[in-house]
C-alpha cells in the first residue's frame, strides 16, 4: 500500500492544484465567448431593422413600431427594446423595458456602436446602443437589452463539468500509473533475480523477457563482476587496485602464471651515443600503460628491437632484463629486415589499418606485398611466443593492430593458451572495415583470442557487427561472445588507464613553472597551454592551432598573455603523408607567430622532438590548460597523464569528444575538434576558470583515476580470462612444455577446452 501511495498522493495533489487553477480560466473564457456572441446578435438585429424602423419613425407610426418591438422580444434572449431620440428622450419602448436604463446624452450619439452592462436586482442585463439614421440625418438610438442570466447557470455547469473531468482524469491516470508501476516492479525484480541467482558471468540474458532490462543487466553484471573480483582479492571490499593487488590476482586466478606480452613497440630502446649507449622510453600510450603491469607481474615482453644499439645489449637468446635501474621482467627482442619494416609496419599497419580505423580523412592504402610481409612478421611474433612459453597454457597479452594475426597463429600451436588481445585504436563500423581486402583473415586472426578488449563498448559493438557481416559465426549479443571454429571468444570493453602514483613528481609546481617559462623566455604573467602528441594527423594538431589563432581573434586580450606549447614527438617520418603533415604544422605555427608575435612574445612554441617522461611531467605541471583534440582516438592517455600530474588540483583539461577518455573524464571541457569556434571558446573558458572551480573538476577526475587505474585494467582482463578458462572446463597445469612435437597428442585432450560453454 505504501508503494502505491508513493505514486497516488503526489499525482492527486498535482492534479487537484491544476484543476483549481483551470476552473477560473475556463469560466472567464466561456463568459468572454458568450458575451461576444450576444454582441454579434445585437449588431445583426440592429442592421436588419434599420430600414423599416427609420421609415416608421419618420412617419411616426407608433403602432407599427410597437408591433415591431414586440416581435423582436419574442427571442428568448432579447429582453427589451427601446428607442431614444437625438435629444436623449425615450420615445418608444416595450413593456419589459427596465426603468434603470436611461438614454444617453446627445454628445454620445456620435458613436456608431457602444455597449455597457447593467445588473438588475433580479437578472443580469447586457445593453447595446445602435445608431438609427437615414442618409440625410440621425434619428436616434436603438437600445437592445439581452438577458444574460443564463451565463451564470452555464458557468456553474462548466465548473462542475471541469471538476468531474479532472477527477475522472486523475482516477484514470492513477490506475494506469499504479498498474504499470506494479508490472514494471515485478518485471524488474524477476529480471534481477534471473541473473543474481548465481548464473555466472557468461549466462545468456535471453531469459529476461523485458527488453529494457537487457542493457541494465549487462551493466549490473559488470558491476557485480568487479565487486566479486575486488572482494576476492582483499579482505576489504573497497580496496584500490595496486601492483600488489594485481600480483595477488595473478596468483589466485591464474596460479601465478608467467605473463607474455607481445607488441610491436618495445618499452626500452637502446641508442648509440658518442662512446656510450643510452636508454630511451618511447612516446607511446601502449608503453605508458603496460610497463607498470609488467613491473608488477614479471614475465617476458616480446617486441621489435628498433634501436641502433639494441643488438649490442641482449644476450644470446635476444633477452635483456629491464628496467635497467631495477630489473623486473625480461625483454625479448625480434629483428626485422628493412623490407619487413617497410611492408609490415610502415605499409600495411600504418598506411592501411591506421587510417582505416581512425577515419581521419586520409585514404588507406593496401598492397598485396605489404600484406605478405604483415603475415610473415606476425608469424615471427607468434613463433617467439611459442619459444618463450614454458607451459602448455601460457597467458599471452597481444597488443594492438600490428599483430592481428598472432592470436590465431599461437592458438594453432598452443590450443590451451589464454590469449588476451587488446586493440588500442578505434574499431570502425562494418562498412568502413569492409574496405580492407583481407578483412576475413584479420577477423579470423583476432578470434583466435580468448578475450578481445577495446577501450569502449562502441568499438566492441563495431567489432561484433563486423564479425556478424563477414563471417559465419554464432554471436551472443547479450553476453558479447562469439563462437567461431569451435572456439568461443569474449568481446569486452576495458578502458585503459595509467598508474597515477608514478605520475607524481618530487619537483614542485612552482619550480616546474619557473623552469618552463625560463626555457621558453616567457613573461611571468603569461598563461601556458599545452598539447602533447605524436606528430600524427589523427591527433587534431592543426585544428588545435587553428583554435589558438581563433582565440586571439575573438579575445584579443589574451595576446601576449597566453602562449601555447605543442610537443610533437616525431612519428613514421618515412611515410609521405606524415612528412606533408609535419610541413603543414610548421607552416601554421610560423604564420600564427608572424601574425601575433612581437617584442619577444611567441604565441606558439613548437617542439618536434622526443621528450622523456620526466620532461613531459614538468610541462604537465606547468600548464594552465592541456588541450587534447584528437579527431579519432582509442583512449588517449595524455589526458589522464595531465590529470595525474596535477596533485595541486589546478589546471583545466580540454578534451575531444572523439576520445575514449571523454567518456570517463566528464569534468573536462569536452569539445568537437572540428568546431574551431567552440574550441576557441573552450580555451577562453579554461583560462578564465576560477581556482575553486578548477579544484572541484580536477579533484573529481583524479579520484576516478585513483580507482580506475592501470592495475585494475589488467586485473579485470586477467580475472575475466581465468573465469572463462574455468567455465570452459580447463584446469591449470604446470607441466613443462616440450615443444610442438607433442601438439598432436595434446589436441585431443584440449577439445573440451575449445567448445562453447
Q: What is the CATH number of the domain that holds 618?
A: 3.40.50.2000
Give the single-character DSSP code of 206.
T
Q: Cell digits for 588?
A: 601554421
Instruction: Indicate the residue among 460, 477, 497 that finishes a domain.
Output: 497
The pLDDT of residue 428 is 93
Return the residue matching grid coordinates 600490428: 402
pLDDT in tens, 324-359: 888 989 999 999 999 999 999 999 999 999 999 988
Q: Report the C-alpha gap between 83 and 85 in whole angstroms.
A: 7
| Residue 209 placed within a domain | no
Helix ranges restricted to H, 597-690: 613-622, 637-645, 676-688
pLDDT category at 159 given cuts 50, 70, 90 is: confident
Sign of the torsion angle spanned by Cα atoms 453, 454, 456, 457: negative
Residues 35 and 71 in one domain: yes
The pLDDT of residue 734 is 41
pLDDT of 316 higher than 60: yes
Residues 424 and 512 in one domain: no
pLDDT of 737 higher than 60: no
Closest CA relative to residue 533, chosen from 394, 673, 410: 673
Q: Residue 261: beta bridge partners?
A: 301, 397
The pLDDT of residue 113 is 47
Averaged pLDDT, 534-544: 93
Averaged pLDDT, 59-67: 86
Averaged pLDDT, 584-610: 94
The pLDDT of residue 219 is 58
Q: Cell digits for 356?
A: 582505416
Other Cβ atoms less than 10 A from the Cβ of 42: the count is: 24
Residues 414 and 313 in one domain: yes
| Residue 134 placed within a domain | yes
Q: Report the C-alpha gap between 206 and 751 in whole angstroms.
A: 27
Structure-model confidence comparison of residues 455 and 45, the more confident one: 455
Phi and psi at residue 602, to the nearest 5°: -120, 115
pLDDT of 115 higher than 70: no
Sign of the torsion angle spanned by Cα atoms 448, 449, 455, 458: positive
Structure-model confidence comparison of residues 96 and 235, the more confident one: 96
Structure-model confidence comparison of residues 479 and 743, the more confident one: 479
Most confident of 51-65, 280-294, 714-728, 733-747: 51-65
Residues 457 and 510 in one domain: no
Q: Report the C-alpha gap between 627 and 620 in whole angstroms.
A: 11
> What is the number of H-type helices and E-type strands within the chain?
24, 23
pLDDT category at 38 given cuts 50, 70, 90 is: confident
Other Cβ atoms less than 10 A from the Cβ of 337: the count is: 12
Other Cβ atoms less than 10 A from the Cβ of 552: the count is: 19
Residues 464 and 524 in one domain: no
Please report, rounded to a whole number, the percentage of residues in the chain having pLDDT higher than 90.
47
Residues 489 and 519 in one domain: no
Q: Left (φ > 0), alpha (ψ -120 to 50) or beta: where does 454 sit?
A: beta
pLDDT of 192 higher than 80: no
pLDDT category at 757 given cuts 50, 70, 90 is: very low
pLDDT category at 71 given cuts 50, 70, 90 is: confident
| Residue 340 placed within a domain | no
Helix ranges restricted to H, 197-233: 213-233
Indicate the range of 59-63, 500-504, 544-548, 591-595 predicted with least confidence.
Answer: 500-504
Q: Report the C-alpha gap between 409 and 189 in whole angstroms.
A: 46
Averaged pLDDT, 350-373: 91
Residues 524 and 387 in one domain: no
pLDDT of 118 higher than 70: no
Q: Report the C-alpha gap between 381 and 320 in whole angstroms.
A: 17
Structure-model confidence comparison of residues 577 and 622, the more confident one: 622
Structure-model confidence comparison of residues 53 and 652, the more confident one: 652
Averaged pLDDT, 596-619: 92
The pLDDT of residue 161 is 77
Q: Is 183 helix (H, G, I), strand (E, B) or coil?
A: helix
Averaged pLDDT, 188-204: 50
Residues 306 and 328 in one domain: yes
Q: Cell digits for 363?
A: 585514404
Structure-model confidence comparison of residues 589 and 113, the more confident one: 589
Residues 521 and 492 in one domain: no
pLDDT of 617 higher than 50: yes
Q: Report the C-alpha gap between 349 and 317 in whole angstroms.
A: 27
Return the residue matching grid coordinates 574550441: 679
Residues 486 and 580 in one domain: no
Averaged pLDDT, 108-123: 52
Q: What is the CATH number of the domain that holds 74?
A: 3.30.450.20
The pLDDT of residue 558 is 96
Q: Are strands 138-147 and 78-85 parallel, antiparallel or unpaired?
A: antiparallel
The pLDDT of residue 111 is 54
Cβ–Cβ < 8 Å for 147, 125:
yes
| Residue 227 placed within a domain | no
Residues 72 and 135 in one domain: yes
User: What are the DSSP calls for 348-364, one per residue?
Assistant: IIIIIIHHHHHT-S---
Averaged pLDDT, 639-663: 94
pLDDT of 621 higher than 60: yes
pLDDT in tens, 496-514: 998 887 767 788 999 999 9
Q: Strands of 474-476's sheet, edge to edge?
A: 319-322, 329-334, 300-304, 259-262, 395-399, 418-422, 451-454, 487-493, 481-484, 474-476
Q: Is 280 helix (H, G, I), strand (E, B) or coil?
A: strand
pLDDT of 654 higher than 90: yes
The pLDDT of residue 3 is 57
| Residue 731 placed within a domain | no
pLDDT in tens, 222-280: 555 555 555 554 444 445 788 888 877 777 777 667 789 999 999 999 998 887 888 88
Average pLDDT over all residues of the chain? 83
Total domains, the chain = 3
Residues near 610 by beta carbon (within 8 Å), at least 6 away in sequence = 280, 283, 569, 570
Most confident of 162-171, 247-256, 559-568, 612-621: 559-568
Averaged pLDDT, 179-202: 56
Residues 314 and 393 in one domain: yes
Residues of the chain by 3-state class (helix, strand, coil), percent to 5:
50, 15, 30
Q: Report the C-alpha gap between 644 and 698 in whole angstroms.
A: 9
Q: Cell digits for 325?
A: 635501474
Q: Cell digits for 175?
A: 490506475
Residues near 549 by beta carbon (within 8 Å), at least 6 away in sequence = 592, 595, 596
pLDDT category at 532 given cuts 50, 70, 90 is: very high
pLDDT of 743 higher than 50: no
Cβ–Cβ < 8 Å for 429, 408:
no
Instruction: Indicate the residue among 497, 514, 530 that finishes a domain.
Output: 497
| Residue 354 placed within a domain | no
Cβ–Cβ < 8 Å for 444, 409:
no
The pLDDT of residue 253 is 74
| Residue 757 placed within a domain | no
Give the single-character DSSP code of 444.
H
Structure-model confidence comparison of residues 133 and 592, the more confident one: 592
User: What are the DSSP calls for 297-320, one per residue?
Assistant: H--EEEEE--STTHHHHS-TTSEE
The pLDDT of residue 238 is 43
pLDDT of 107 higher than 70: no
Averaged pLDDT, 591-613: 93
pLDDT of 531 higher than 50: yes
Instruction: Indicate the residue among 112, 137, 153 that finishes a domain.
Output: 153
Indicate the range of 89-93, 178-182, 327-331 predicted with least confidence.
Answer: 178-182
pLDDT of 40 higher than 80: yes
Q: What is the Cα 233 distance to its own chain's centre?
A: 32
Residue 636: domain span: 506-708
Q: Report the C-alpha gap between 739 and 93 in whole angstroms.
A: 126
Return the H-helix or E-strand segment holding 85: strand 78-85
pLDDT category at 688 given cuts 50, 70, 90 is: very high
Cβ–Cβ < 8 Å for 23, 159:
yes
The pLDDT of residue 110 is 57
Most confident of 131-145, 244-258, 295-309: 295-309
From first CA to last CA, the distance across the chain in angstroms is 44
| Residue 198 placed within a domain | no
pLDDT category at 215 given cuts 50, 70, 90 is: low
Closest CA relative to residue 478, chosen from 142, 211, 682: 211
Q: Report the C-alpha gap between 515 and 512 in whole angstroms.
A: 5
Averaged pLDDT, 31-49: 82
Amino acid at each position: 500500500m505504501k508503494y502505491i501511495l508513493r505514486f497516488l498522493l503526489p499525482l492527486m495533489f498535482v492534479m487537484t492544484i491544476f484543476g483549481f487553477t483551470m476552473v477560473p480560466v475556463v469560466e472567464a473564457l466561456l463568459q468572454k465567448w458568450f458575451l461576444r456572441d450576444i454582441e454579434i446578435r445585437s449588431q445583426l438585429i440592429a442592421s436588419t431593422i434599420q430600414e423599416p424602423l427609420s421609415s416608421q419613425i419618420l412617419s411616426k407610426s407608433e403602432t407599427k413600431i410597437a408591433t415591431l418591438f414586440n416581435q423582436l422580444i419574442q427571442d428568448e434572449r432579447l429582453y427589451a427594446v427601446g428607442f431614444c431620440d437625438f435629444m436623449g428622450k425615450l420615445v418608444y419602448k416595450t413593456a419589459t423595458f427596465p426603468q434603470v436604463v436611461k438614454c444617453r446624452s446627445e454628445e454620445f450619439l456620435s458613436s456608431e456602436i457602444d455597449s455597457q452592462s447593467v445588473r438588475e436586482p433580479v437578472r443580469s442585463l447586457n445593453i447595446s446602443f445602435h445608431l438609427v439614421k437615414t442618409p440625410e440625418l440621425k434619428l436616434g438610438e436603438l437600445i437592445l437589452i439581452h438577458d444574460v442570466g443564463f451565463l451564470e447557470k452555464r458557468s456553474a455547469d462548466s465548473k462542475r463539468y471541469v471538476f468531474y473531468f479532472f477527477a475522472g482524469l486523475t482516477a484514470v491516470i492513477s490506475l494506469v500509473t499504479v498498474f504499470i508501476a506494479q508490472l514494471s516492479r515485478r518485471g524488474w525484480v524477476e529480471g534481477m533475480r534471473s541473473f543474481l541467482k548465481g548464473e555466472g558471468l557468461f549466462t545468456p540474458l535471453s531469459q529476461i523477457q523485458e527488453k529494457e532490462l537487457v542493457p541494465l543487466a549487462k551493466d549490473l553484471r559488470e558491476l557485480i563482476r568487479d565487486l566479486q573480483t575486488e572482494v576476492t582479492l582483499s579482505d576489504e571490499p573497497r580496496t584500490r587496485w595496486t601492483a600488489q593487488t594485481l600480483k595477488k590476482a595473478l596468483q589466485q586466478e591464474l596460479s601465478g602464471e608467467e605473463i607474455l606480452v607481445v607488441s610491436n613497440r618495445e618499452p626500452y630502446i637502446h641508442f648509440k651515443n658518442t662512446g656510450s649507449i643510452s636508454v630511451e622510453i618511447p612516446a607511446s600510450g601502449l608503453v605508458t600503460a603496460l610497463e607498470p603491469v609488467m613491473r608488477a607481474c614479471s614475465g617476458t615482453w616480446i617486441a621489435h628491437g628498433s634501436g641502433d644499439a639494441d643488438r649490442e645489449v641482449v644476450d644470446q637468446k635476444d633477452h635483456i632484463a629491464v628496467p635497467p635501474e631495477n630489473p623486473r621482467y625480461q625483454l625479448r627482442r625480434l629483428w626485422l629486415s628493412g623490407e619487413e619494416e617497410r611492408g609490415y609496419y610502415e605499409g600495411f599497419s600504418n598506411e592501411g589499418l591506421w587510417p582505416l580505423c581512425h577515419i581521419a580523412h586520409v585514404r588507406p592504402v593496401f598492397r598485396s606485398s605489404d600484406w605478405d610481409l604483415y603475415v610473415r612478421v606476425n608469424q615471427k611474433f607468434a613463433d617467439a611466443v611459442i619459444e618463450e612459453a614454458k607451459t602448455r597454457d601460457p597467458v599471452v597479452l597481444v597488443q594492438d593492430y600490428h599483430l592481428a594475426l598472432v592470436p590465431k597463429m599461437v592458438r594453432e600451436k598452443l590450443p590451451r593458451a589464454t590469449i588476451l588481445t587488446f586493440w588500442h585504436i578505434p574499431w570502425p563500423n562494418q562498412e568502413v572495415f569492409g574496405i580492407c581486402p583481407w578483412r576475413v583473415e584479420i577477423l579470423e586472426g583476432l578470434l583466435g583470442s580468448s578475450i578481445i578488449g577495446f577501450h569502449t563498448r562502441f568499438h566492441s559493438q563495431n567489432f561484433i557487427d563486423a564479425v556478424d557481416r563477414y563471417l559465419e559465426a554464432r554471436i551472443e549479443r547479450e553476453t558479447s561472445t562469439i563462437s567461431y571454429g569451435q572456439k568461443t571468444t569474449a568481446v569486452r570493453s576495458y578502458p585503459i588507464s595509467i598508474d597515477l602514483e608514478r605520475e607524481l613528481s618530487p619537483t614542485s609546481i612552482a619550480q616546474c613553472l619557473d623552469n618552463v617559462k625560463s626555457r621558453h623566455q616567457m613573461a611571468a604573467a603569461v598563461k601556458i597551454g599545452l598539447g602533447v602528441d605524436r606528430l600524427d594527423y589523427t591527433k587534431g594538431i592543426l585544428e588545435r592551432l587553428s583554435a589558438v589563432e581563433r582565440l586571439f581573434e575573438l579575445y584579443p586580450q589574451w595576446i601576449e598573455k597566453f602562449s601555447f606549447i605543442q610537443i610533437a614527438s616525431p612519428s613514421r617520418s618515412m611515410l609521405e603523408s606524415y612528412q606533408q603533415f609535419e610541413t603543414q604544422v610548421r607552416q601554421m605555427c610560423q604564420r600564427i607567430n608572424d601574425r601575433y608575435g612581437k617584442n619577444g612574445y611567441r604565441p606558439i612554441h613548437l617542439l618536434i622532438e622526443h621528450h622523456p617522461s620526466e620532461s613531459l611531467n614538468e610541462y604537465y605541471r606547468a600548464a594552465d590548460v592541456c588541450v587534447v583534440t584528437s579527431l579519432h582516438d582509442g583512449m588517449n592517455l595524455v589526458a589522464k597523464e595531465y590529470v595525474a600530474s596535477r596533485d595541486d588540483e589546478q589546471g583545466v583539461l580540454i578534451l575531444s569528444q572523439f576520445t575514449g577518455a571523454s567518456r570517463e573524464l566528464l569534468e573536462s571541457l569536452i569539445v568537437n575538434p572540428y568546431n574551431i569556434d567552440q574550441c576557441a571558446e573552450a580555451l577562453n573558458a579554461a583560462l578564465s576558470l576560477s581556482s575553486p572551480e578548477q579544484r572541484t573538476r580536477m579533484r573529481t577526475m583524479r579520484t576516478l583515476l585513483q580507482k580506475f587505474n592501470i592495475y585494475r585494467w589488467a586485473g579485470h582482463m586477467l580475472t575475466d580470462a581465468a573465469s572463462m578458462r574455468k567455465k570452459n572446463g580447463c584446469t591449470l597445469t604446470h607441466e613443462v612444455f616440450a615443444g610442438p612435437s607433442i601438439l598432436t597428442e595434446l589436441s585431443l585432450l584440449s577439445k573440451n577446452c575449445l567448445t562453447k560453454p
